[in-house]
Structure 1
Amino acid sequence: MNIDPSQGNAAAFLHRYDGLAERLPGATIPAVRALRDAAAGTLRAGGLPSRRVEAWRYTDLAPMLRAEFREALTAVDGAVAMPVPRADRRAVFVDGRFRADLSSLDGLVAASLAEVIETVAGRLNTVASASQPMVTLNTLLFEDGLVLEVPEGVDAGRLELLSVASGETASTVHPRHLVRLGRGARLVLLETALSTAGARHLHNPVFEIEVAPEAKLTHVRVQRESASAYHLAHLGVRVEEGGTYDGFVLNAGGRISRSETHLALLGPRAAAHLNGAQLVAEGQLADMTTALDHAAPNCASRQTVKTVLAGRSRGVFQGKILVRREAQKTDGYQMNQALLLSEEAEIDSKPQLEIYADDVKCSHGATAGALDADSLFYLRARGIPADTARSMLVRAFLQEAVEVVEDEPARDALEEAVSAWWDQHGGVA
C-alpha cells in the first residue's frame, strides 16, 4: 500500500478514498461527489484531531490512527447472530451495510441510503456540522445508512436500529443515517451497536435528525461493541417549535468510544433531554461530548450523565449549553457525576454555560468520588456479600439516569447492558 505521508494522520483514509471513489454510492451524482471531494480536501489540509485540538484534548485517537484497517468490500451475506428483537420492526446493518433479509420495515417510510441516495443527496450535511472532523471522515467514506421519514401526525411506534460488526475483517464503517419527523409525529428509535468478541473495527456513524413542530423522537442508544473496537458517533439534531428530542446514550464497550451530540432548539417550547451513562473498564476510554444551542425562547433542556470507571480507565464529559440573546425564559440543567471504582481510574469533566440572555434559569455541576464507605459497611453488616453490596450501590448510582427512559423495552436493553458489564468487570474493579 503506497500511502503519502504528507497527508498526515488521515493518509490511510484518504488512500482508501482514492481507491474507492468510483465505487462509493453517489459517485456519479455531482452533489455527492462534490461533498466527498470537499471532505478529502479538508482532511488533506487539517487531518484528524489530535489532543492539541481543544475539543479533543482529553481523547487521544493515536491508538486508532496506528491501527491497520481494511475495507469490507463485500457485504456479509451469511448467517449473523441476532439478539432477541425488542420491537416488531427492525433495520439491520452488518459491517455498515443494510441487510434486507434481516430487517422488517413494514409500514414505515424507510429505505437504505445506498438505494435512494439520488433522491436525498440534498439533505446530506444539512444538519450535521461539516466542520466536525469525524463527520468529514464519514462524508468521505459513507456507503449506506437508514433514511427514515415519519409523516405528519403519524405515531410510528418503535423501531430497532441494529448495527453489527461481524469481526471478519478489521474494517471501518461510516453509516450515515437521516431521520426526519413531520409535524406532530412520534417515534421511539432503539439503536444498538454490537460486535463479536475481539472484533477490531472503527464504527463512525453520523445521524442527521430533524424534529418538526410538536413532534417527539425518543432515541435510546446502546453501544456494546468489543473492547478492541473504536466507536466515534456524531449526532446533529434540530428541534422546531414545541418539538422534543428525548435522548439517552449508554457507552458500555469499545477501546475508545465517543458520543458527540450537537443539538439546536430552534422554536419556542422546544425541549431536549441528553441523558446518558458510561461504563468504562480496564484500558478503555469513554467520552460523551454535547453542545446544546438554545436559539429560541421558552425552551427547556435536561442532561444527566453518569460514568462508572473500573481499573485503569478514563472517562470524559464535555457539555456546553449556549443560550442566545433571543432565548429568553430558557430553563437548562446539566449534571455530570462519576463513580470511580479504582484509584487508577480518571475522569475529566468540563461542563460549560455560555449565556447571552438575561431572563434564564440555568445550572450545571460535576461530582466525582468512590463508593460510599458508610453505605458499603451498612450493607456488609447485614450479611450482604461484598460483590453484591458493590453491585447494589453501583446500580443505585446509575438508576437516576436510567429511570428517565420511559419506553420499557428500551429501559430493559439498558438494564441488560449494565448487568452484562458488571458481570464481566465488577469483580475486577
Structure 2
Amino acid sequence: MNSVTPSGNAAAFVHRYAGLAGRLPGASIPEIRKLREAAAETLVAGGLPSRRVEAWRYTDLTPMLRAEFREALTAVDEAVELPAKRAERRAVFVDGRFRADLSDLDGLVAGSLAEVIETVAGRLNSIASASQPMVTLNTLLFEDGLVLEVPEGTDAGRLELLSVASGETASTLHPRHLIRLGRGAQLVLLETALSATGARHLHNPVFEIEVAEEARITHVRVQREAESAYHLAHLGVRVAEGGVYDGFVLNAGGRISRSETHLALNGPNATAHLNGAQLVAEGQLADTTTALDHAAPNCASRQTVKTVLAGRSRGVFQGKILVRREAQKTDGYQMNQALLLSEEAEIDSKPQLEIYADDVKCSHGATAGALDENSLFYLRSRGIPAGEARAMLVRAFLQEAVEIVEDEPAREALEEAVSAWWAQHGEAA
C-alpha cells in the first residue's frame, strides 16, 4: 500500500486509512492488517461506485464524495442524550464506537468488536460481499461494532441496537456488526439510527448475520438520521435449513440513504422476509436494493416495499430474486409500490427474477401513482380538513407494510417515525 499513490473518488478515504492504520483495531493482527490492505488496494484500483456502475445507476454519491469528513477515533466519553428504551437490553454506539456505560447486555454473549477482534478475525467478510465497494470501505476503516452470539436453543428476547451520531464533527462511521444465531435460537433486534439536527456525517454500517438451522431473527431497522447526513447500509445474511430472517427497514432520514441486503437461503424450508418503507422529502434520495438467492429447495421469500415521496425527491427500488437450478418448489413474491405526493418526485423501480428451476412459484410487480382523488374527495366531503385527509391516505398506504411487523415495540417505533416524518413534511407535501 505504501508504494501506491491514491487517486480517484476514494482517495480521501484511503489517505485517512494511511493516517489511522496504526490506531485502528486489529492493527497488530496480521489477518486484519492484510484484510485492510487488500481493501485499500481495491479502492485505489476501482474507487467508490458511480452511476456508470449498473447497481448504482440511480443513486448518485457525488454530494457525499464532495463532502469533507474529518478523522474518526474521537473521544467517546461525553454525555449523550438517548431516547427511551424500547427493549430490556440495549447496545449503544456513539459516533461508531461502543459505549459500555450506556449499554445493557446482561445475559447475552455480546460485546464490542474492538475488544474481541482477535477472536473473530476469521469471520470478517465471510458473509458480506467483499466485492461491494461500501463493504470494502467499511473493511478499510471499521473501528467497532456489535459481536453477538445467541447459543443453540436460546430465546434471547429483544435487543435494541442504537446508533447515535453526535454531530459535533463531520465524521465517517463504519461499524461492523457480527451476529450469529445457533440452531433453534431466537432474537428480536430493533435497530435505530439517529443523529443530531444538522449533523453531516457518513454512516456506513455492515452487518454479517448467520441464522442456523431452525433459528429465527426478527430484524427491524429504523433510520432517522439528519437530512444532511449520508446513510449507506449493507446487510449480508445466510439462512440455514428451516431458519427464518424476518426483516423490515424504514428509511426516513439522510440526504442520501441506501439499504442494501444480500441474503442467501442455503437450506431447505428456509424463509426470508425483506419488507420496508421509504419516506423521502425535498432534496432527499432513498434507495432500497436487495439480492435474494434461493439456493435450496422448498424455500419461501416475501418482499413488500412502499415509498412515499414529497417535493423534489427520488426513490429507488432494486430487487433481484435468483432461483438456482436445485431450488425446486421455491415460493417467491416481490412488490414495490410508490406514492408520489408531488409532480416533481421521481421513483425508479427495477424488480428482477432470474429463474433456473422449473418447479417454482414466483411473482413480482411495481406500481406508482398519486393520492386517489376520489378517496380524498370522500374524506373532504365528510368534513375532514385537506391536510388531515391527505395524512389519513398516506398512513393507509403505509399500513399494509408496517402491520407486517409482529413485534409490538418495533411496530410502535415504525409508527412513531412515520408520525414524526409527516409532522415535519406533511404540510409541504
Query: TM-score, with normalisation over the residues of structure 2?
Result: 0.99
1:231 match:
231
Rounded Cα–Cα distance in structure 1 between residues aligned with 2:118 and 2:101: 23
- Asked if 1:215 is matched to 2:240, the reply is no
Rounded Cα–Cα distance in structure 2 between residues aligned with 1:334 and 1:198: 35
Could you say what secondary structure the match of 2:76 adopts?
Answer: coil
Alignment check: 8 A CA contact 2:194 2:226 kept:
yes
1:263 match:
263
Alignment check: 8 A CA contact 2:6 2:14 kept:
no
Alignment check: 8 A CA contact 1:236 1:262 kept:
yes
- Asked if 1:376 is matched to 2:376, the reply is yes
| Amino acid in structure 2 at the alignment position of 1:85 | K
After the TM superposition, which of the residue ranges 4-13 and 270-279 deviates more from structure 2? 4-13
Query: Over residues 149-170 of structure 1, what are the superposed CA-to-partner deviations in whole Å (9 max), with x where a residue is unaligned?
Result: 0000000000000000001100
Query: Over residues 269-328 of structure 1, what are the superposed CA-to-partner deviations in whole Å (9 max), with x where a residue is unaligned?
Result: 000000000000000000000000000000000000000000000000000000000000
Rounded Cα–Cα distance in structure 1 between residues aligned with 2:410 and 2:118: 33
Structure 2: gaps of 5 or more residues: none
Could you say what secondary structure the match of 1:428 adopts?
Answer: coil
Shift of 1:5: 8.2
- Asked if 1:30 is matched to 2:17, the reply is no
1:167 match:
167
Rounded Cα–Cα distance in structure 1 between residues aligned with 2:75 and 2:352: 43
| Amino acid in structure 1 at the alignment position of 2:343 | E
1:64 match:
64
1:277 match:
277
Could you say what secondary structure the match of 1:40 adopts?
Answer: helix
* Residues 28-427 of structure 1 mapped to structure 2, 5 A cutoff: 28-427=28-427
Alignment check: 8 A CA contact 1:326 1:357 kept:
yes
Rounded Cα–Cα distance in structure 2 between residues aligned with 1:340 and 1:94: 35
Shift of 1:7: 1.4
Could you say what secondary structure the match of 2:156 adopts?
Answer: strand
Could you say what secondary structure the match of 2:157 adopts?
Answer: strand
Rounded Cα–Cα distance in structure 2 between residues aligned with 1:325 and 1:176: 33
How many residue pairs align between the two structures?
A: 426
Alignment check: 8 A CA contact 1:75 1:97 kept:
no
Could you say what secondary structure the match of 2:426 adopts?
Answer: helix
Rounded Cα–Cα distance in structure 2 between residues aligned with 1:363 and 1:162: 35
| Amino acid in structure 1 at the alignment position of 2:92 | V
Alignment check: 8 A CA contact 2:213 2:240 kept:
yes
Rounded Cα–Cα distance in structure 2 between residues aligned with 1:298 and 1:210: 19
Could you say what secondary structure the match of 1:87 adopts?
Answer: coil
Structure 1: gaps of 5 or more residues: none
Shift of 1:6: 5.5
| Amino acid in structure 1 at the alignment position of 2:173 | V
Query: Over residues 325-371 of structure 1, what are the superposed CA-to-partner deviations in whole Å (9 max), with x where a residue is unaligned?
Result: 00000000000000000000000000000000000000000000000
Rounded Cα–Cα distance in structure 2 between residues aligned with 1:7 and 1:25: 25
Alignment check: 8 A CA contact 1:222 1:250 kept:
yes
Rounded Cα–Cα distance in structure 1 between residues aligned with 2:425 and 2:328: 46
Could you say what secondary structure the match of 1:415 adopts?
Answer: helix
Shift of 1:72: 3.1
Shift of 1:75: 2.6
Rounded Cα–Cα distance in structure 2 between residues aligned with 1:46 and 1:123: 24
| Amino acid in structure 2 at the alignment position of 1:310 | A
Could you say what secondary structure the match of 1:22 adopts?
Answer: helix
Could you say what secondary structure the match of 2:320 adopts?
Answer: strand
Query: TM-score, with normalisation over the residues of structure 1?
Result: 0.99
Shift of 1:88: 1.1
Alignment check: 8 A CA contact 1:75 1:95 kept:
no
Rounded Cα–Cα distance in structure 1 between residues aligned with 2:101 and 2:111: 13
Shift of 1:226: 0.2
Rounded Cα–Cα distance in structure 1 between residues aligned with 2:396 and 2:158: 28
| Amino acid in structure 2 at the alignment position of 1:8 | G
Shift of 1:37: 0.2
Could you say what secondary structure the match of 2:427 adopts?
Answer: helix
Query: What is the percent sequence identity of the aligned residues?
Result: 88
Shift of 1:78: 1.6
Could you say what secondary structure the match of 1:367 adopts?
Answer: strand
Could you say what secondary structure the match of 2:136 adopts?
Answer: helix
Rounded Cα–Cα distance in structure 2 between residues aligned with 1:112 and 1:258: 25
